[in-house]
């Protein structure tokens, strides 16, 4: 027993890596490394499947092959060791199974055979898994290559920007604000905060785990005490960096710049519509004038985007490529180059467009200066917006500001690697009662702060090739196509003027069957809900004392004093038909209403748009339509004065709405019979 104890106390036997660390520490490090590699490969495998990118399947494939080799090696080692030293294997099995004596030969052979069979089976499973993963990798690679070939045949410039995809448009998913929709949105990858921060987060997490392992397993007790003092020092001074203030101010400035640039990208629609409407002439000369006016405007936009947008610059590396794309003609490019200027000539095509307006005015294709100025004003607004986004690119935010934010955020989380460690010494002043090993709260803080910074960096220059940057190539194509279509194909091409379906009939637009069952929120003024109490029969109308005080006509003794008494007579039928239907209906009631709703008549299938047709339309047959009555209670007004006792009765209509429930009706009505507005 003493020899065993002595052997156990001989720590030199249980050292590894040339005596640098204990074997227990080495085993723990190997376990952590294995778990990290497994999680790393699984995450990459999930991303490869969701994004269909073959290269991200390699870590998962390598881990699968390594596991297959481990299973084969285990089976081989067990067989070889059993063949060489069968008795030792019997003792090992007996010790593992807690037998009092070494097991029999049959039991030993059964255990060895079962273990080898399981290892071989797992090995074949991993081989089959590796084959499937490799074939999936080949499929994604072939699909990627075929898409490259397709894009290269369609347009060589598309292949250059293929890696830049548009951000995921989540507006359709948020059409209904339900919890499952929000959770579905959280798990989107493309353009998400997870995609923006996962690289930095993984690096930070590895650094945190490394420091944690060193602190827990590699340091002595005295060294751990010094390190805990350093942790307390960092944690106490971590608030010296005002993260919230710096990030919020920076993001506000960047978002304001982004919104301004987005609002001034430039849509050609107004110029095209005004040109198509005001520049007359269906001959070839008139068409060319209209087409050239709008094309010159789009060409100027293209010139601006070439200098500020990387994607447009790749598409049009030279001015000759603009000729090939149709934004310029060859003789126009020569004229453009003849104009010598040391500054950018974005203004020159606009100058041509305005001169063409003068030419159209001289040729009587414009009805005077008003029409010419209307088009010129739209061109001016279009050019002003392009000039604004060009100046934003010319004068960016001072580079020290993004540098400051970048350094502050990253230094903050470098300090967090040390300050957020869990203290494991019970006697330490800052001892952590709950040791979670994994920094949950620090991870949430990292995702929020770094994601916040990434948002600002993403919006800092929207004319790049990131997911959420402006797709100016699409905007150029769209503007050129719509402009030429509006001034040429759609010029003077109107539908025949015929009576509409509401001709001499009630305007009642149709709904789809699903939409007709939903409540329509009619707009009425909020004060329209007020109603006279049921016991009010008269309303006395008198002048306001303030007005009477400053009225100089009051001094005239022959002046009649104004005053009216309004008698209220209520329409009982109206009260019955316009009862308060604003109360919330139960779900069962709404279902019953849909079941027993009167179906549309067969006139739905009949022709509805016929000139001067007086037959009933389908819109009058839709059932379950909310009955909105505009009938009003009748008031009788009696006008009287002191000098003349005659009474004049006038019938008027007052607004009608739901009945008001008042707390004390008599106090509000009293002698003056005033109108009650209390809800």
Q: Considering the chain, what is the average pLDDT of its residues?
A: 77
Q: What's the pLDDT band for 642 if we cut at 50, 70, 90?
A: very low
In degrees, to the nearest 5, what angle opens at C-alpha 268 toward C-alphas 282 and 254? 175
79-83, 165-169, 657-661 — most confident range: 79-83
CA distance 490 to 282: 11
Q: Could you tell me what percent of the chain has a pLDDT over 90?
A: 32
Between strands 564-569 and 538-541, the pairing is antiparallel
Res 518 pLDDT > 90? no
The helix (run of H) or strand (run of E) holding residue 652 is: strand 648-653
Contact 375, 274 (CB under 8 A): yes
Least confident of 456-460, 507-511, 555-559, 590-594: 590-594
- Dihedral sign, Cα of residue 505, residue 509, residue 512, residue 518: negative
For the record, the structure tokens of 317 come out as 């590396």
CA distance 299 to 447: 43
Would you state the pLDDT for residue 58? 79
Res 393 pLDDT > 80? yes
CA distance 675 to 530: 9
CA distance 84 to 112: 13
CA distance 323 to 327: 6
Q: What's the pLDDT band for 84 if we cut at 50, 70, 90?
A: confident
Q: Could you tell me what percent of the chain has a pLDDT over 70?
A: 74
Q: What's the pLDDT band for 50 if we cut at 50, 70, 90?
A: confident
Would you state the pLDDT for residue 80? 81
Res 144 pLDDT > 90? no
Taking Cα atoms as reference points, which of 255, 540, 268, 543 lies closest to residue 385? 268
Burial of residue 427 (number of CB atoms within 10 Å: 0-12, 13-18, 19+) = exposed
Least confident of 84-98, 120-134, 141-155, 521-535: 141-155
Instruction: Give tens-digit pLDDT for 7-30.
Output: 445 566 677 766 667 777 777 777
Q: What's the pLDDT band for 264 if we cut at 50, 70, 90?
A: very high
**What is the rounded average pLDDT of the residues 618-643?**
44
Taking Cα atoms as reference points, which of 628, 609, 617 lies closest to residue 510? 617
How far CA 570 is from CA of 537, 558, 567, in Å, comes to: 9, 37, 10
How far CA 574 is from CA of 585, 660, 662, in Å, comes to: 22, 16, 22
CA distance 642 to 561: 7
For the record, the structure tokens of 148 come out as 């490259």
Q: Where are the alpha helices (DSSP H) in 173-268?
A: 179-186, 193-213, 221-236, 243-263
Would you state the pLDDT for residue 555? 66
Would you state the pLDDT for residue 136? 85
Would you state the pLDDT for residue 381? 96
Q: What's the pLDDT band for 325 if we cut at 50, 70, 90?
A: very high
How far CA 385 is from CA of 271, 468, 476, 480, in Å, comes to: 14, 21, 15, 17
Res 565 pLDDT > 80? yes
CA distance 675 to 540: 10
Q: What's the pLDDT band for 575 if we cut at 50, 70, 90?
A: very low
42-56, 290-304, 552-566 — most confident range: 290-304
Q: What's the pLDDT band for 369 if we cut at 50, 70, 90?
A: very high
Would you state the pLDDT for residue 100? 67
Would you state the pLDDT for residue 250? 93
Between strands 634-639 and 648-653, the pairing is antiparallel
Query: Where is pLDDT greater, at 606 or 444?
Result: 444
Q: What's the pLDDT band for 175 if we cut at 50, 70, 90?
A: low
**What is the rounded average pLDDT of the residues 606-622?**
43
């Amino acid at each position: 027993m003493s020899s065993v104890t002595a052997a156990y106390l001989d720590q030199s036997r249980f050292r590894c890596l040339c005596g640098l660390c204990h074997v227990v520490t080495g085993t723990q490090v190997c376990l952590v490394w294995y778990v990290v590699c497994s999680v790393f490969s699984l995450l990459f495998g999930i991303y490869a499947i969701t994004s269909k990118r073959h290269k991200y399947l390699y870590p998962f494939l390598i881990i699968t092959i390594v596991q297959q080799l481990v299973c084969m090696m285990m089976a081989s080692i067990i067989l070889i060791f059993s063949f060489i030293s069968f008795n030792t294997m019997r003792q090992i099995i007996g010790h593992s199974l807690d037998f009092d004596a070494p097991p029999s030969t049959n039991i030993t052979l059964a255990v060895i055979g079962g273990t080898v069979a399981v290892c071989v089976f797992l090995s074949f499973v991993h081989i089959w898994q590796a084959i499937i993963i490799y074939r999936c990798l080949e499929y994604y690679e072939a699909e990627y290559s075929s898409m490259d070939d397709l894009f290269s045949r369609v347009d060589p410039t598309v292949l250059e920007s293929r890696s830049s995809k548009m951000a995921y448009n989540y507006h359709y998913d948020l059409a209904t604000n339900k919890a499952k929709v929000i959770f579905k949105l959280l798990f989107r990858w493309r353009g998400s905060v997870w995609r923006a921060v996962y690289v930095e987060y993984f690096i930070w997490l590895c650094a945190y785990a490394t420091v944690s392992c060193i602190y827990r397993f590699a340091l002595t007790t005295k060294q751990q005490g010094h390190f805990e003092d350093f942790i307390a020092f960092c944690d106490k001074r971590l608030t010296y960096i005002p993260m919230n203030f710096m990030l919020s101010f920076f993001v506000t400035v960047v978002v304001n710049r982004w919104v301004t640039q987005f609002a001034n990208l430039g849509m050609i629609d107004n110029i095209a519509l005004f040109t198509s409407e005001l520049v007359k002439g269906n001959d070839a000369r008139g068409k060319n004038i209209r087409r050239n006016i709008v094309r010159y405007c789009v060409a100027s936009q293209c010139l601006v985007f070439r200098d500020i947008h990387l994607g447009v610059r790749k598409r049009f590396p030279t001015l000759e490529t603009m000729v090939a794309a149709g934004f310029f003609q060859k003789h126009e490019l020569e004229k453009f180059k003849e104009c010598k200027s040391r500054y950018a000539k974005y203004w020159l095509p606009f100058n041509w467009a305005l001169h063409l307006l003068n030419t159209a005015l001289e040729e009587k294709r414009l009805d005077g200066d008003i029409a010419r100025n209307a088009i010129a004003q739209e061109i001016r607004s279009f050019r002003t917006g392009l000039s604004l986004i060009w100046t934003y690119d010319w004068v960016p935010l001072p580079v020290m500001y993004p540098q400051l934010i970048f350094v502050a955020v990253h230094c903050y989380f470098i300090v967090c690697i040390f300050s957020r460690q869990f203290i494991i010494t019970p006697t330490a002043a800052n001892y952590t009662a709950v040791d979670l090993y994994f920094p949950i709260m620090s991870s949430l803080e990292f995702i929020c702060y770094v994601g916040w910074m990434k948002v600002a960096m993403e919006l800092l220059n929207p004319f790049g090739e990131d997911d959420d940057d402006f797709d100016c190539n699409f905007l150029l194509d769209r503007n050129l196509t719509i402009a030429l279509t509006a001034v040429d194909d759609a010029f003077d091409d109107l539908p025949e003027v015929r009576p509409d379906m509401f001709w001499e009939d009630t305007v009642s637009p149709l709904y789809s069957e699903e939409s007709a069952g939903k409540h329509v929120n009619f707009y009425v003024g909020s004060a329209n809900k007020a109603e006279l109490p049921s016991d009010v029969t008269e309303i006395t109308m008198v002048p306001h004392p303030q007005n009477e005080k400053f009225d100089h006509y009051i001094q005239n003794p022959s002046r009649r004093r104004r005053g009216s008494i309004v008698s209220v007579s209520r329409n009982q039928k109206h009260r019955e038909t316009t009862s308060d239907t604003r109360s919330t209906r139960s779900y069962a009631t709404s279902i019953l209403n849909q079941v027993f709703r009167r179906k549309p008549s067969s006139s739905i299938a009949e022709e509805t748009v016929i000139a001067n047709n007086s037959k009933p339309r389908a819109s009058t047959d839709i059932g379950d339509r909310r009955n909105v009555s505009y009938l009003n209670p009748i008031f009788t007004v009696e006008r009287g004065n002191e000098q003349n006792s005659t009474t004049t009765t006038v019938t008027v209509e007052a607004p009608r709405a739901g009945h008001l429930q008042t707390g004390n009706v008599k106090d509000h009505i009293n002698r003056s019979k005033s109108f009650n507005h209390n809800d």
